[in-house]
Amino acid sequence: MLTVDFGRLPVGPGHRVLDLGCGGGRHAFEVLRRGAEVVAFDQDAAELEKVAGMFAAMGKAGEVPDGASGTTVTGDALDMPFPDASFDRVIAAEVLEHIPDDMTAISEIVRVLKPGGMLAVTVPSFLPERICWALSEDYHTAPGGHIRIYTLAELKAKLKSAGLRVGWHHHAHGLHSPYWWIKCAVGVNNDDHPLAKAYHDLLVWDIMKRPAATRLAETLLNPLIGKSVVVYARKPA
């Protein structure tokens, strides 16, 4: 399930891409399939072991184009172990809302991005996130959880203040917001609740089958209750 639109963030052979806070690696895997050199970066070494294993499995399955590569690096978003201007593209998907000093993280992104390079940042959308916070304290007070709710204007302003030229934005995963509202209402760790389980099964079915009806529904819902907002920006040449 991708949040970034790779039509808006072109990635391909010859590009070096940083997936910052890659988590399970969903965007890193897509970048690798597109023929780029991707670095999956996260502070969770155990998660990165799984990502590295998937990179290897993709190679064995013939899913990695010639010249593409995927590597993993463990580290801190506030002090990344990369030289200045190391990457043509940076993806920071659902990361900044976890970091107390988000401006330092943004400054680090700008530092490692090449002049003329492009960035995609995704964070939880304001309205769906605000409802989650109102329904459940556990949702946002768990260790490593979300510590702020961004407005779109705030996120754009912070990116601009770091010297980036902010461009297009869109919302994503409109069908996922009700799931998280249900989870927050019945207990964020209560995966066995019948309503939460039924909705989760629906989402899995939609991801696997991608029927036209749910694709249309999500397109209509995204501007209203999309769970994530995605902002694209460029570092001036």
pLDDT in tens, 121-156: 999 999 999 999 999 999 998 888 899 999 999 999
| Phi, psi angles (nearest 5°) of residue 127 | -65, -50
CATH of the domain at 89: 3.40.50.150
Residue 63 CB coordination number (10 Å): 14
- The span from the CA of 17 to the CA of 27, in Å, is 10
pLDDT in tens, 6-53: 999 999 999 999 999 999 999 999 999 999 999 999 999 999 999 999
Pair of tokens at residue 181: 């509202």
Q: Which domain holds residue 93?
A: 16-125+143-173+227-234
Helices and strands counted in the chain (H then E): 9, 7
- The span from the CA of 144 to the CA of 119, in Å, is 24
Q: What is the pLDDT of residue 203?
A: 96
Does a structural domain hold residue 32? yes
Domain count along the chain: 1
Q: What is the pLDDT of residue 144?
A: 83
Closest CA to 4 of 39, 28, 23, 24: 28
pLDDT in tens, 62-88: 999 999 999 999 999 999 999 999 999
Q: Where do we find the tokens 């749910």? A: 214
